[in-house]
Amino acid sequence: MKRGWIFWDRDELPEAEFDRRTANVRSAMRAEQLDAIVVYGDALQSGNLSYLTHFFPYADTGALILPFDAPPRLVTTHAYRNMPWFNTITWIKDIVCTGMIGPACADFLASIGAPIRKIGMVSGLSLPSAVAEAIQHKIGCEVSDFSAVYEGLRIIKSDRELAFVRKAADIADRSFKDLEAASRPEMSGFEVAAELELAVRRRGAEDLYCFIQPEGSQVGLTRPDARRIRGFFSVEIAVEFNGYWAKLGRSIFLDRALRAKGSIVELYAGMCRQFLEEELVSRSARPFLDRLRSRLLGDERLTSVRLHADFGLEPYWAPHLLTSAGASQRLEGPLSFYLQARMDLEGRLSLLRMDTYMVRDSRLFLLTPS
């Protein structure tokens, strides 16, 4: 649940930006012959919802009902007493607090007056069946999954969105340097998290995720815990600023004797960057990754190379670019993405290098240079 700084600066993100996004979504709705869409979100998966509303259900759930030709309504399970705070973060004027999202959506759709023949649902995994069924039961219309089309629109970023991604990346990068300076042998996973919580949140971040993999762990990145870290650990940080996320992954060598081994992942990171600069801009995701793999996977220690789509408004669970709406998207920008390279050394050191990149005006920018 979110407990960082959530705000809306109308100069940085004017209402006109939401008008533009809404118009784009409605154009896509017209192509799909949708009379309305319902965009659902909760405290941990709010990206689709906040894209059109700048509303973040920090501990509960919410949904936007966007008719094709009528003003939208936002419904949320947060209490009505929070309305003054809601009004500081969202441009939506029509907000209803309810215990039952589905019936509240259905009631609104029924009240519009215009015939509703087909509704698009957005949010894939997090959209509850009970919400869709309440709408279908009352409206009796066809329901389709509009998520892929909607998320395809989100991949391409405006300059304003990229500025927030840059800021999130800057917080992640500087906070990682703080962590690196504070790291010491025998610190626990909780102590790693404590350093990051302080560094990230006092810089004004909205939210933070931190996963680590200590030396010898065979189960990949996990939530920090009380185990003491000896010579080495890998850490993945996701930082949200004003709704937009950046990610960074690094390996930290606490034992000097191990440090030389880290140079190999840095070598790969450098190769990835160089390859990105040479090849990415004019290519779509699939041939790019295929070529990257063929060049790098000769080394069997390199266990994975992943390129994650960054919809900008989701921390984890960003789909792999090859299986997402971005698979056929030419990576010319403006957009941002994460590139992750992992390799295992000697069965006990899981090396990680993950960075956030931005493509704008056909140029590539590394946003996490630390």
Partner 1 sequence: MRPKSGAPSELERRRDKLLGALEKFGTSDILIYASMLRRENVRYFTNFDPMEPGAAVVFSAQSPPLLMVPTDEEKARAQAESWIPRVESYEGDIQNLPRLLKTFPLSDTVAIAGWDYFPMDWMAELRRSFPHKTWSDATPAVHGIRILKTEDEIRKIEKAAAIADAAYENLLLGVRPGLKEYEIVAEVESFIRKSQGEDNFQLLASGSGDARAMHPPTDRILREGDLLITEISPQVDGYYAQICRSMVIGEASEARRAAYDILFRAQQSGFDQVRPGMTASALAKVQNDVFRQAGYGEYVSEKYTRGRGHGIGLYIDEEPLIAEGNDFELKAGMVVMIHPNTFLPLSGYMVLGDPVLITEDGGRRLSRSRRDLAEIKIPPRGSR
Amino acid at 250: R
Q: How far apart are CA 54 and CA 46, in angstroms?
A: 9
Of residues 157 and 203, the one with the C-beta less far from partner 1: 203
Other residues' Cβ atoms within 10 Å of the Cβ of residue 207: 25
Query: Which range in 36-44, 178-186, 247-255, 293-301 contacts partner 1 by CB under 8 A?
Result: 36-44
Q: How far is the CB of 230 from partner 1 (least distance, A)?
A: 16
Q: By CB under 8 A, is residue 141 in contact with partner 1?
A: no
Considering only 6, 49, 149, 318, the residue that binds partner 1 (CB under 8 A) is 6
Sign of the alpha-carbon dihedral angle for 279, 283, 285, 286:
negative
Q: How far apart are CA 289 and CA 15, in angstroms?
A: 37
CA 117 vs CA 33, 64, 341: distances in Å? 9, 18, 46
Interacting residues with partner 1 between 232 and 261 (CB under 8 A)? none
Q: By CB under 8 A, is residue 32 in contact with partner 1?
A: no
What contacts 209, CB < 8 A, 6 or more positions away? 236, 237, 238, 315, 316
Q: How far is the CB of 144 from partner 1 (least distance, A)?
A: 11
Query: Which range in 120-128, 237-245, 250-258, 287-295 contacts partner 1 by CB under 8 A?
Result: 120-128
What is the DSSP track for 286-305?
Answer: HHHHHHHHHHHTTSTTEEEE
Q: What is the DSSP letter of 335?
A: E
- Specify burial of residue 69 (Cβ count, 10 A radius: 0-12, 13-18, 19+): exposed
Query: Which range in 12-20, 39-47, 152-160, 283-291 contacts partner 1 by CB under 8 A?
Result: 39-47
Q: By CB under 8 A, is residue 218 in contact with partner 1?
A: yes
Interacting residues with partner 1 between 330 and 369 (CB under 8 A)? none
Q: By CB under 8 A, is residue 279 in contact with partner 1?
A: no
Phi, psi angles (nearest 5°) of residue 35? -85, -20
* Residue of 45, 47, 109, 55 lying closest to 82 (CA atoms): 55
Q: How far is the CB of 295 from partner 1 (least distance, A)?
A: 24
Sign of the alpha-carbon dihedral angle for 318, 322, 324, 330:
positive
List the x/- string, 164-203, binding to partner 1 by CB under 8 A.
------------------------x-xx-xxx-xx-xxx-
Of residues 126 and 368, the one with the C-beta less far from partner 1: 126
Query: Which range in 104-112, 219-227, 254-262, 278-286 contacts partner 1 by CB under 8 A?
Result: 219-227
Q: How far is the CB of 132 from partner 1 (least distance, A)?
A: 5
Considering only 66, 132, 276, 280, the residue that binds partner 1 (CB under 8 A) is 132
Interacting residues with partner 1 between 293 and 332 (CB under 8 A)? 316-317, 323
Tokens of 179: 């962590």
Size of the site for partner 1 (CB under 8 A): 57
Interacting residues with partner 1 between 59 and 98 (CB under 8 A)? 59, 61, 79-82, 84-85, 88
Q: How far apart are CA 275 and CA 252, in angstroms?
A: 24
Q: How far apart are CA 277 and CA 221, in angstroms?
A: 28
Q: Which residues bind partner 1 (CB under 8 A)?
A: 1-7, 42-45, 58-59, 61, 79-82, 84-85, 88, 121, 124-132, 145, 188, 190-191, 193-195, 197-198, 200-202, 204, 211, 218-226, 316-317, 323
